[in-house]
Each structure stands twice: as structure tokens, then as C-alpha cells.
Amino acid sequence: MNKTVIGMAAAALILVIFAYNRGGFPLVGRGFVTAGEKFIAVFLILIVAFIVAGFVSILIPQKFVSRWLGKEAGWKGPFLGSLLGALVPGGPFFFYPLMAALTISGANVGTMISFVAAKTLWNVARLPIEIAFVGVELTVIRFLITFPIPILAGTFVDLLLPGYAAKIREDIKRLQKARPQKRGEQID
Amino acid sequence: MTDALIALLFMAVILLFFAYRQGKITAGFSEAARMFLNVLPLLVCAFIIVGFIDLLIPRELLQAWLGEESGWKGLIIGSAIGALIQGGPFAFFPFYDAVFRDSVATGTAVAMITAWGMINVGHLPYEFAFLGHRFVILKYCMYLAVPALAGLLANLIFG
């Protein structure tokens, strides 16, 4: 928690200073208003998203996740992760916490790499909007060309980077359970 | 946004049903609240960052950058613009339609749309907050070049 909060607060501060240099307090004020509007716009969805993520994390048994999305899934992990990414709705404030919850329940990091690519490349809720504004032809071209990426990327991570994936899993656990873990408490 | 809310509410109802049958309603809500409170400081920072990026990178500037470029320059600038444009599909696609649809090459369009989804800078605060810096490094190492390559492929095959 701590380090990440400091890093992000610093990034926010840099942007605020940058805005102040460009347009003084009025521009800084507008930045905060824009941020507030975005927050209000997604507030309701955010609450529901956290309820879903919370219940997913207590209801879906670890066995289930590790069978379908973890080590036991083998080559099917990235494939199923991609499929999940294609089906799950919602913006980044929802699917990143979901990815964290699934990883803690036993999903492979490679599978999550597949998930995050498929969430943007294959997502069934997004394709109709893309077709509506971009056109059928270009959407089909875009879809066909990027189709293999989620599966290939996840498989690559699972096969070639298991050590790094283990470190990422530790990072995620640390971020989620920042407080209880402080005294070297065992995770689960 | 409304679609996503309806879909999430639907998921929540199903989950609540199963939780009720297992007597885990309270546990579910307290887990949700714990997760929410844990990331609240990060979320506040995330929204400030996203809000200011939106404000500091005006849309007119993006169009000026791309100009009439095609070829490899178009692929790279197209990717960069895609990665910088903020907002969900209901913001991005209408914007693409209004600003770029009639003027860009096939490959540039593919690069831009792919980059908007895969390497969007607006996702970075969330990625840092929930998945940590090593995940961010891995994801961007793997996916940074993908939009431009996808665009190149589109130009070669369909251009």
C-alpha cells in the first residue's frame, strides 16, 4: 500500500504542479472538478463492482480458480483467461480489482496477462460499439489481426517467466492485504 | 456505462443468491468493504491523475500530431494517440468517428484502436494500485509494440 500510494500521490502532485504552471489555480480547480465528475459518474458502478469483487473472492473456491485459471489448468489457463476477459463487462476500476482477487484465489499471472489483453481485444460488450462507430470492415480487420495475442502472451508468461510471475503474485497479495500482513503474518 | 452497470448488478444478484444459500452475506459485504477501504487512497489518487491527464492533453492537439501521416510514422503516432485518449468505449469510439475515421490509413486506425485498449495510460494508476509495479513492467514490455505491429500487419494485408 504505502509505497504505491506515495508513488501515485507524487504522480498526481506532478500533474497538479504542471497544471498550475500552465494555468494557475483556475486550471488546477478545473482538474479537480474533472476528477470529481469522473468519480461521481462511476461512483454507483464502483460500489457494485466492489460488491461483486468482494463476493467473488469469498464465494469462488480456490480449488475452482486454480483448476480453471491456475497451474492445474495448464495450456487451458490462458485460453480460459482470454474467454473470461471477452465476457466480463466494466471499466478498469472493476476489472483490475477482479484480477487481483482472482490471482489471490490462485489464478496464474500468465492467465491474467491473457485476461487483460482479451478484455480490450475480444470483449463482447465493446465490439458492438466499435462496429457502430468504426465500421464493420475495420473492426473485423482489427479483431482478426489481434485475435491470437491474448492466448500467445499468457502462454509465453506461463512457460518462460514463472519466477517473475511468482513475484507479481507476492506484490498483489501485499497490495491487497497491506495491513494484516505487516507483522509477517501468514497469508491464508 | 449503463450496460456495464446492469451487467454488474446482474452478477451481484447471482452472487448474493449463492452467498445467501451459504450464509455468507455478511462476510461478502465486509470483504467488499475491506477491499474498498484498502484501495480508497489509491482510487482518490487515480481519479485525480486521470482527471488532470484528461485536462492537460487536449483533443485538438492529438489530431494535430497525427496530421496526414501514414506509414511507420502514422503507426507510431497513431499508437501514441490511442494510448493517451481517455474514456471508455462510449467516449473513445464516437471521438474516433468524429476526428479520425475519414482521414487515417487502415494500419493507423488499427494501431490507434488497439493502443487505446491495450496500453492506455489511464489504466496505469489502477494497474499500479491493484497489481503492482512488476505487473506493469511485464504488461508494457509485452504489449507496448503490439498496436504498431498490428497496424503494420493491417497495412500489409488490407492496406
Q: Is residue B47 part of a domain?
A: no
A152 touches B: beta carbon within 8 Å: no
* Global pTM exceeds 0.95: no
Tell me, what's the pLDDT at A151? 94
In a domain, B52, yes or no: no
Check whether B70 has a pLDDT greater than 90. Answer: no
Kindly tell me if the per-residue pLDDT of A185 is higher than 60.
Answer: no
Residues B14, B69: one domain?
no
Residues B10 and B69 in one domain: no
Q: Which residues of A touch B1 (CB under 8 A)?
A: 41-42, 45
Contact A179/B at CB under 8 A: yes
Position of cell 475495420?
A138
**Are residues B36 and B64 located together in one domain of the fold?**
no
Residue B16 lies in a domain: yes
B50 domain-assigned: no
Its sign, for the CA torsion A90, A96, A101, A104, is positive
Compare all CA atoms of chain B with the CA of A167 and give the residue at the minimum distance.
Answer: B134
B64 with B141, same domain: the answer is yes
Q: What would the mean pLDDT of B33-47 be, rounded to a whole number?
A: 80
Among A49-53, B57-61, B93-97, B137-141, which stretch is predicted with the lowest mean pLDDT? B57-61
Please give the torsion angle defined by the CA atoms of residues A4, A9, A14 and A15, in that order, rounded to the nearest 10 degrees: 110
C-alpha span between A135 and A140 (Å, rounded)? 9
**Residue B75, min C-alpha distance to chain A (Å):** 14
3-state helix/strand/coil string of chain B? CHHHHHHHHHHHHHHHHHHHHCCCHHHHHHHHHHHHHHHHHHHHHHHHHHHHHHHHCCHHHHHHHHCCCCHHHHHHHHHHHHHHCCCCHHHHHHHHHHHCCCCCCHHHHHHHHHHHHHCCHHHHHHHHHHHCHHHHHHHHHHHCCHHHHHHHHHHHHHC
The band of A184, judged by pLDDT with boundaries at 50, 70 and 90, is very low
Residue B48 lies in a domain: no
Same domain, residue pair B76 and B34: no
Q: What's the CA gap between A81 and A98, in Å, rounded?
A: 12
Give pLDDT tens digits for A155-170: 999 888 888 888 888 8
Q: Name the residue ranges covered by the structural domains of chain A.
A: 1-59, 62-178
A chain contacts of residue B4, beta-carbon cutoff 8 Å: 45, 89-91, 94, 125
Shared-domain flag, residues B61 and B35? no
Q: Is residue B6 one of the residues assigned to a domain?
A: yes
Instruction: Name the strand (E) or helix (H) holding A165.
Output: helix A162-176
Structural domain includes residue B147: yes
3-state secondary structure of A1: coil
In a shared domain, residues B96 and B133: yes
In this complex, the residue of A45, A99, A134 whose CB is nearest that of residue B131 is: A99
Name the residue with higher pLDDT: A44 or B70.
A44
**How many folded domains does chain B comprise?**
2
Tens digit of pLDDT for each residue in B109-158?
A: 999 999 999 999 989 988 988 899 999 999 999 999 999 999 999 988 88
Is residue B103 located within the same domain as residue B32? no
**Which domain, by its residues, includes B4?**
1-41
